Structure formats: structure tokens, C-alpha cells
């Protein structure tokens, strides 16, 4: 299929046009790029890059042709054939992860090879070429994801939580994969039976065509796919950021773009809680909203573009309390040395102990009660779980538009946990019903929440046709891993700057004449940002603001 002068692609793209996926650079552009690489003479059949090698370089065709092929199970599929002015590369080039494809010359000619370091340099500094390259890399990854053209096949079931976990892990890491629902492929199940793959082994992940992983952990998947390959763990970094939610990614973008050597650790996948939001409507600059996952993917690419490295599925388990360089310890016992540390581990909203809760998050189960959610449940019955002020405000707010609001509290009343004015409003409101000693026992629905079972003080379980549940039971900070190394408030949030009292600093042995900087913890050179920080605003914008502000303070500490 010849769609442009040069490009031949085996398959029509589903997300964009061939021209956008494989743009043709002008002769001047090619010359400019050539100054950053080396010229190679190639003959037909020469392999420029093999699949599974690290994607450590890109190629620009000066004369001749090259082809990009995907090889799986011994067979090759043509992805595209490129001619003069066209270039290879995709998002894996930013991190140096393994390539999905083989690149081969199909005609005699001249190629410019640019290594990863110089490619990153071009992306960062060339205002004209950088955006052309970056846009093509992103669009190519989007296309691979849309086609499921990766190096992973997941065999699982839509009814299995582990399958959902792995699908989420791969999606949130922007890794293309093919998913096969075994419930709809009985023939495949028979094949698995022959290989003694039992129901207990499902989901099964076929990684890079050779490894057969049975119900793998996220760490095992990251290892098999080489997510963290090439990251030097011995090097003393200017800055180690723990957590890749909005605050941690902001710190990585600002730190790396300002010349710091930044390593980010993320226990699952980039995005944090924000990735759980189907649409963030209140983030500045996105008047029609943006999904949390998209925002996170953009920030993740941006951080890598500036040279920040991100370790995936590697959680911090300890922070050494000795003075600089600090050491952040990982689950596998490795210790990452750092001159400064930003803690951005966020908070986890308290969840109900119900197996299928995740299935309804965003589809009937919410952690926020804004105008957006209230519009969804206009004239319907809703449940608000929780006895704090947040739950009280949500109940009163939702009662303005909902048909009825059931407030469920575990205790015998609201007096101990809620402000008096809110209790009065709840008691006086004709459409709010308070259930004490109450708890939800089951959520039911197909796709969207349809029924909720709960029991209250009376003890009998009732089934209600409720399609919306608001969980307002508070958030718990992810600070347990600090193990007393840093001053926390009574709820476990990290105290910083002016929140640290004289006593806190005395107990922590604060060694400096100056007081802690605004976002600095009781350990000089260690900062806390976003939801894990005491008195933070618990919003995406404030998390991003704190992450970027902390970098300015990191510079001050590094200079001192």
C-alpha cells in the first residue's frame, strides 16, 4: 500500500494517518540531524537493529530504503518501509527499553545513526525538530497500543481480579499487548489444559514470545519486559523521587529539565491516584477535561524526554536516616544513593473490603462529590459512606439534586466525628436518611453499579436499587515505609516546613542553624510533596505545584 512517496506500511493505521506516523523531513532537517550522528553505508539485508536489543539509537534514511518488521513465533510482519527523509524510533527510545521490531536495509544507500543520548539532546534542544520527532514517537506508540502490536499476550478472564491488575499495569505503563479472554476462547483453554495450565495459573502472560509467566507479579512482568533495564542503581543521584503520581512526575520534569540527575521510583505504574480518575475537569488548561491516565502518560513521557529515569514496579521500603548521601532501599534489598530525596508517595483512599469494588470505581463508586458526580445521580438514590465532615458536606451537597441520600456510618451516631452544623443539616433534611451501625456487604451490577446490599443496626441485610456510592472514609498516607525516620502528624502525614514544631525538630535532631524550607521534612535535604504531606490540598494541581516548587528548594540544598 503506497500512501506516500516513500512509506509502505503493511497495515493502515487505526489512530492517525501514515503521514503523521512517518513524516518526511526536509533535506535541511536531515543535514541538521546528521551533525548529531554518524553516516553509515548500507546494503540490502543489513540489520540495523534487532528486536529485543535495547532501543538505543534511531536512524534517518538519507538515500535508499529500510524496513521495520515485527517478528513473532518465527514469522515476520512488515510494519513499514521508509525512504529518504524518514526516521525510525518510538517512545522506548526515551528510556532505552527493548525494541519491539527489527530494522533492516532493503536497498543500498546511506543512513544516519543517532545514539540515544544525542536523540534526547535533539528532543530537548531543537525547537523545530524536537516536536516533529516527539509527536511521531508518541503516535507510533499509540498505534501499537491500538493494534495490540506488542511483545506480550495476556490470557485471562474478564471475571478475574488478577487479569484486571495485569491489564491495568500494562495499560498504565503504556505497553502494547494482546488480550485473550479465555471465557470466549474454549479452544485455547483446551490447549492450555494440554500444557497443564490450570485455572489457578490464570492469568498467563506470554512475554516476548518465549517466557510463559503464570499469574505473574507486576515486578516479574517489569523484569521480563525490561522496564528497568539500563538504570544504574549504584550512581549517586542529585535527586531520587519516590512515587510517580502527579507530584512526583512534576518533580521529575522540573528536576530533569533543570539539569539534575533524577531517578524516580514507582511501586506500581506512573499516574498515582490521578490515573484512577476517568476525567479530571479542574486541572488548569484542559477546559474539556483530561483523563488521569492521559495526563500521567504525557507527564511520564515529558519526564523521560528531559532525561529522568523511572523505575517501575519498585517500591521504596526504607529511607536511611543518616546524612547525605541518603539511601533509598528497595524491596529487593538494593540501596539507591541520593544527594536529595523528594517523597511523593501520596495517599490511598480507604476502600471497602469488597472483592469487586475496583470493578465499579468510576462506574458507580466515587471518592469525590463535585458538580460532575452530582449531575450523574440527579433524581436518583445515592449512598454516602462515612461520618466525617467530608461525608457530611457530600451528603448535604448531593441532597440538592438526588432523590434520596442514605448516609451510612459504622458508629452509633455522628456526634463524635462531624461538625454540629452539618449534623443539624443532615437531621433536618427531608431527603437524607441516616443509617447508624451500618456497612455495605455487597455491590452488584453488570458494568455499572445497579444494586447495593447493606445492613444497619437492625442487623437484617437489605438490597437497594442504588447506582451511586460515595466513599468518604478518608485517605491514609503512604508513609509506613519511612518507619519513624521522619516526623509525621498523628494521622501519618509527613510534616514539613512551618508545620514542624521545635519539639519535632529536637526529637529529629535537626542539625542546621536555618529552619526547614517550606516543603522540607525533619531531615534536611529530604522533601515531601502532594497528598502524603500534612495539610496538603489533595488535588492534582496542588500536587503538581508542590512537586515543581520542591525542585527549587532542592537546588538550594545542593548548592549549600
Ligand X SMILES: Cc1cc2nc3c(=O)[nH]c(=O)nc-3n(C[C@H](O)[C@H](O)[C@H](O)COP(=O)(O)OP(=O)(O)OC[C@H]3O[C@@H](n4cnc5c(N)ncnc54)[C@H](O)[C@@H]3O)c2cc1C
What minimum distance in Å lies between the beta carbon of 272 and ligand X?
A: 2
Per CB under 6 A, does 343 bind ligand X? no
Of 167 and 538, nearer to ligand X (C-beta) is: 538
Of 87 and 254, nearer to ligand X (C-beta) is: 254
The span from the CA of 191 to the CA of 465, in Å, is 42
- Binder to ligand X among 274, 409, 486, 523 (CB under 6 A)? 274
Of 63 and 370, nearer to ligand X (C-beta) is: 370
- Binder to ligand X among 22, 177, 227, 367 (CB under 6 A)? 367
Per CB under 6 A, does 309 bind ligand X? no
Contact call for residues 343 and 521 (beta carbons, < 8 A) = yes
Of 316 and 440, nearer to ligand X (C-beta) is: 316
What minimum distance in Å lies between the beta carbon of 466 and ligand X?
A: 19
Of 86 and 548, nearer to ligand X (C-beta) is: 548
Give the cell for residue 136.
Answer: 511521531
Distances (CA, A) of 380 to 385, 390, 394: 16, 21, 15
The span from the CA of 40 to the CA of 48, in Å, is 10
DSSP-assigned letters across all residues of 136-182: HHHHHHHHHHHHT-SSEEEEE-TT-HHHHHHHHHHHHTT---EEEEG
The span from the CA of 435 to the CA of 413, in Å, is 9
Of 107 and 276, nearer to ligand X (C-beta) is: 276
Per CB under 6 A, does 254 bind ligand X? no
Angle at 272 between CA 271 and CA 275, to 5 degrees: 55
- Binder to ligand X among 130, 258, 368, 376 (CB under 6 A)? 368
Contact call for residues 137 and 144 (beta carbons, < 8 A) = no
Choose the binding region for ligand X from 81-89, 138-146, 201-209, 535-543 (rule: CB under 6 A).
535-543
The span from the CA of 327 to the CA of 340, in Å, is 10
Per CB under 6 A, does 272 bind ligand X? yes
Per CB under 6 A, does 265 bind ligand X? yes
The span from the CA of 387 to the CA of 471, in Å, is 10
For the chain, helix (H) and strand (E) counts, in that order, are 16, 29
Per-residue DSSP letter, 320: -
Choose the binding region for ligand X from 83-91, 225-233, 342-350, 420-428 (rule: CB under 6 A).
342-350
Site for ligand X in 208-247 (CB under 6 A): 242-247
Per CB under 6 A, does 347 bind ligand X? yes
Per CB under 6 A, does 364 bind ligand X? no
Of 123 and 308, nearer to ligand X (C-beta) is: 308
Contact call for residues 442 and 360 (beta carbons, < 8 A) = no
| Phi, psi at 218, each rounded to 5° | -60, -35
Per CB under 6 A, does 326 bind ligand X? no
- Binder to ligand X among 100, 481, 510, 527 (CB under 6 A)? 481
Choose the binding region for ligand X from 133-141, 413-421, 435-443, 537-545 (rule: CB under 6 A).
537-545
Pairing mode, strands 211-214 and 204-207: antiparallel
What minimum distance in Å lies between the beta carbon of 328 and ligand X?
A: 8
- Binder to ligand X among 77, 282, 501, 556 (CB under 6 A)? 282
Helical (H) or strand (E) element with 405: strand 404-408
The span from the CA of 491 to the CA of 253, in Å, is 30
Per-residue DSSP letter, 107: S
Contact call for residues 247 and 546 (beta carbons, < 8 A) = yes
The span from the CA of 339 to the CA of 344, in Å, is 16
- Binder to ligand X among 83, 226, 346, 516 (CB under 6 A)? 346
Choose the binding region for ligand X from 122-130, 217-225, 269-277, 333-341 (rule: CB under 6 A).
269-277
Choose the binding region for ligand X from 151-159, 352-360, 510-518, 539-547 (rule: CB under 6 A).
539-547
What minimum distance in Å lies between the beta carbon of 450 and ligand X?
A: 20
Per CB under 6 A, does 345 bind ligand X? yes
Number of residues that bind ligand X (CB under 6 A): 37
What minimum distance in Å lies between the beta carbon of 488 and ligand X?
A: 14
The 10 Å Cβ neighbour count of residue 422 is 18
The span from the CA of 255 to the CA of 547, in Å, is 9
Q: Choose among 262, 332, 336: nearest CA to 300.
A: 262
Site for ligand X in 45-104 (CB under 6 A): none
- Binder to ligand X among 177, 254, 326, 349 (CB under 6 A)? 349
- Applying CB under 6 A, the residues found at the interface with ligand X are 242-248, 265-268, 272-274, 276-277, 280-282, 315-316, 344-347, 349, 367-368, 478, 481, 530-531, 538-541, 543
Amino acid at each position: 500500500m503506497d500512501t506516500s512517496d516513500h512509506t509502505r506500511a503493511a497495515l493502515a493505521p487505526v489512530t492517525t494517518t501514515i503521514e503523521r506516523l512517518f513524516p518526511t523531513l526536509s533535506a535541511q532537517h536531515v543535514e541538521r540531524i546528521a551533525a548529531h550522528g554518524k553516516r553509515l553505508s548500507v546494503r540490502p539485508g543489513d540489520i540495523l537493529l534487532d528486536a529485543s536489543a535495547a532501543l538505543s539509537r534511531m536512524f534517518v534514511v538519507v538515500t535508499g530504503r529500510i524496513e521495520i518488521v515485527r517478528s513473532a513465533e518465527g514469522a515476520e510482519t512488515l510494519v513499514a518501509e521508509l525512504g529518504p527523509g524518514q526516521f525510525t524510533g518510538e517512545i522506548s527510545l526515551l528510556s532505552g527499553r527493548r525494541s519491539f521490531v527489527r530494522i533492516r536495509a532493503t536497498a543500498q544507500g546511506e543512513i544516519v545513526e543517532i545514539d540515544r543520548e544525542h536523540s534526547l539532546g535533539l528532543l530537548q534542544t531543537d525547537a523545530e525538530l524536537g516536536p516533529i520527532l516527539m509527536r511521531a514517537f508518541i503516535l507510533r506508540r499509540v498505534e501499537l497500543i491500538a493494534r495490540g502490536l506488542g511483545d506480550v499476550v495476556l490470557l485471562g478472564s474478564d471475571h478475574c481480579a488478577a487479569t484486571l491488575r495485569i491489564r491495568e499495569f500494562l495499560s498504565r505503563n503504556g505497553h502494547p499487548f494482546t488480550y485473550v479472554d479465555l471465557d470466549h476462547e474454549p479452544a485455547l483453554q483446551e490447549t492450555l489444559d494440554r500444557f497443564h495450565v490450570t485455572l489457578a495459573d490464570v492469568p498467563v502472560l506470554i512475554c516476548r514470545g518465549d517466557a510463559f509467566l503464570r499469574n505473574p507479579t507486576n515486578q516479574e512482568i517489569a523484569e521480563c519486559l525490561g522496564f528497568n533495564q539500563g538504570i544504574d542503581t549504584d550512581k549517586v543521584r542529585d535527586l531520587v523521587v519516590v512515587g510517580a503520581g502527579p507530584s512526583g512526575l512534576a518533580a521529575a520534569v522540573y528536576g530533569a529539565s533543570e539539569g539534575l540527575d533524577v531517578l524516580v521510583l514507582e511501586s506500581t505504574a506512573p499516574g498515582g491516584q490521578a490515573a484512577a480518575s476517568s476525567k479530571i475537569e479542574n486541572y488548569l488548561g484542559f477546559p474539556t477535561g483530561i483523563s488521569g491516565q492521559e495526563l500521567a502518560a504525557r507527564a511520564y513521557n515529558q519526564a523521560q524526554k528531559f532525561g529522568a529515569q523511572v523505575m517501575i514496579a519498585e517500591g521504596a521500603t526504607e529511607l536511611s536516616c543518616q546524612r547525605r548521601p541518603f539511601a533509598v532501599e528497595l524491596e529487593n534489598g538494593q540501596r539507591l544513593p541520593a544527594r536529595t530525596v523528594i517523597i511523593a508517595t501520596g495517599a490511598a483512599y480507604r476502600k471497602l473490603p469488597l472483592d469487586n469494588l475496583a470493578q465499579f470505581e468510576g462506574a458507580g463508586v466515587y471518592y469525590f462529590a463535585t458538580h460532575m458526580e452530582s449531575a450523574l445521580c440527579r433524581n436518583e438514590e445515592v449512598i454516602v459512606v462515612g461520618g466525617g465532615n467530608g461525608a457530611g458536606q457530600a451528603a448535604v451537597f448531593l441532597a440538592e439534586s438526588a432523590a434520596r441520600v442514605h448516609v451510612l456510618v459504622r458508629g452509633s451516631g455522628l456526634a463524635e466525628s462531624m461538625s454540629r452544623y452539618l449534623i443539624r443539616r443532615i437531621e433536618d433534611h427531608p431527603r437524607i436518611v441516616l443509617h447508624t451501625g451500618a456497612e455495605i456487604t455487597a455491590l452488584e451490577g453488570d458494568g455499572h453499579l445497579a444494586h447495593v446490599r447493606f445492613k444497619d443496626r437492625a442487623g437484617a441485610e437489605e438490597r437497594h436499587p442504588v447506582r451511586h456510592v460515595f466513599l468518604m472514609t478518608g485517605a491514609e498516607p503512604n508513609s509506613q515505609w519511612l518507619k519513624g525516620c521522619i516526623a509525621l502528624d498523628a494521622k501519618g502525614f509527613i510534616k514539613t516546613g512551618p508545620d514542624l514544631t521545635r519539639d519535632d525538630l529536637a526529637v529529629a535532631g535537626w542539625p542546621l542553624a536555618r529552619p526547614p524550607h517550606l516543603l522540607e521534612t525533619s531531615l534536611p535535604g529530604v522533601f515531601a510533596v502532594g497528598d502524603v504531606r500534612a495539610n496538603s490540598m489533595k488535588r492534582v494541581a496542588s500536587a503538581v505545584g508542590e512537586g515543581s516548587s520542591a525542585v527549587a528548594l532542592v537546588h538550594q540544598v545542593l548548592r549549600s
